[in-house]
Amino acid sequence: MSAHLTIDPHFTVGAIDRRVFGGFVEHLGRHVYDGIYEPGHEAADAEGFRQDVIELVKELGVSTIRYPGGNFVSGFRWEDSVGPKEERPRRLDLAWHSTETNEIGLHEFSSWLEKVGSDLMLAVNLGTRGTLEALDLLEYANIAGGTALSQRRIDNGKTDAFGVKMWCLGNEMDGPWQLGHRSADDYGKIASQTAKAMRQLDPSIQLVACGSSSAHMPTFGEWERVVLTHTYDDVDYISCHAYYEEKNGDLDSFLASAVDMDRFIESVVATADHVKAVVGSEKTIDISFDEWNVWYIDRYHGVDKIEGIDNWPVAPRLLEDLYSVADAVVFGNLMISLLKHADRVTSASLAQLVNVIAPIMTEPGGPAWRQTTFFPFSITSRLAKGVALEVKLESPTHETEVYGVVPQVDAVATHDVEAGESAVFLVNRSRTEAMTVTIDVSALGAVQLRSADTLADDDVYAKNTLEAPERVAPAANTTASLAGGTLTIELPPVSWTAVALGA
């Protein structure tokens, strides 16, 4: 079977904001403790951070990291996480039914971010706390000195301000599972009040209002409309969250998950622009897709979930999904979806980074390794620069139970005019048919094929595990050829491919 693409650098979607390659670290399971932080490990540095994990996060190419949650933040008291470690209280984390030791807090995490080369994106607790506590944290983090809270930061060892530029106004406040869950009207009011107050303190910050935690929430759409009606002139972003999993053996629908992400983004954009017109604003609200991934939520509820009034473990094994080739293909397709909407999705956070639904896994006292999903993220983060291009795609289609008729091939291209570099990212969603894709790249001028990496396997459920950490990896330079302005790529069934072109 065959498909055809046309790439022209004149037809742009929008500039690619590096923050779209962001990540997410939550105090959840073994993400922080036994993940990024394991003082007794042979690879630990002087601060207890695993250097093997640091190197993998750097290889992943994560720009901005959202912290400390997630559901965790709605019960979090930020003051617990600063000051001498021996004086920090142990608290019960109601979100994940665990005990939080507060060994790692704002100062330690900021130090880790410097090691991995990422920027900090902070979430404030609008679940069990409110405007005053958000202001206190902002003053502690961003005011250079001369106040009680800035002096407290200095006394705690950080002379310079953290200078956090991007802040989330709570987390998933539309969800009944969330501590402090509110209606859209009530959340919109407190988000507006908090945003106005935070901007009085630091006008330079960017603020993210909570959108829907899923496009399948019963309040989706109306939630965005009401929240943005309250906050439109106070915030810069509305958030989107989406997770996908294969259900009931329906691989065809799972492989088409990005169709749902496309619709989700376009619906939120339409709602935001509707509110813009109604309130008569001149600015445009962008999307922070600050939670996205493949997550087997049904397995969490059936296997992992912790219960019992006397059962509050520290760093339990939670949400440690092992990802297959099929998962990685869907994951790569979700990245394609984000890039296809680069004009409005200018920030995104892969949830999460280590052990917890993560591209990186570790074993206490043992190795760290790359999951299958590591590769689409690291390669796309490295190659996707400049602007996203609007490709013209002709592809066969097939029927799916959940999403109806979908293209078998999905694709996006990027172009960096200054560097003279371009990239093409493709997926073949077919379970059975290989696909020959021809791409007209003549409008790019004289270019050469620099690399082609394909992630595929005869066993679409093959995984990288502790016992076989390198079972799956991309195959390089085996799928593409370039001649006469036509790039030809052979896509195996259930595959993700990245191609780099240069002058």
At residue 161's C-alpha, the angle toward residues 157 and 164, to 5°, is: 125
Q: Contact, 339 vs 16, CB < 8 A?
A: yes
Q: How far is CA 8 from CA 139, 251, 417, 445, 451, in A?
A: 47, 33, 12, 10, 20
What are the helix (H) ranges across 353-402? Answer: 374-383
Query: Nearest CA to 106 among 50, 164, 53, 146?
Result: 164
CA distance 296 to 74: 23
What are the helix (H) ranges across 215-256? Answer: 222-231, 251-255
Q: How far is CA 340 from CA 34, 367, 464, in A?
A: 36, 36, 29
* Residue 199, both tokens: 């901007």
DSSP letter for each residue of 432-478 = S--EEEEEE-GGG-S-EEEEEEEE--SSTT-B--SSSTTS--PEESS
Q: Which of 172, 224, 390, 421 is catalytic?
A: 172
| HEC letters along 313-327 | CECCCCCCCCCEHHH
CA distance 254 to 403: 9
For the chain, the C-alpha Rg in angstroms (whole number) is 23
Query: Nearest CA to 149 among 76, 224, 83, 193?
Result: 83
Q: Contact, 367 vs 466, CB < 8 A?
A: yes
- Residue 421 catalytic? no
Q: Contact, 60 vs 377, CB < 8 A?
A: yes
| HEC letters along 155-176 | HCCCCCCCCCCEEEECCCCCCC
Q: Residues 362-385, buried b or exposed e (16+ Cβ, 10 A)?
A: beeeeebbbbbbbbbbbbbbebbb
Q: Which of 100, 133, 224, 291 is catalytic?
A: 291
* Residue 180, both tokens: 């402090």
CA distance 414 to 423: 5
Q: How far is CA 290 from CA 157, 166, 198, in A?
A: 30, 12, 20
- Residue 87 catalytic? no
| Residue 360, helix vs strand vs coil | strand
* Active site (catalytic) residues: 172, 291
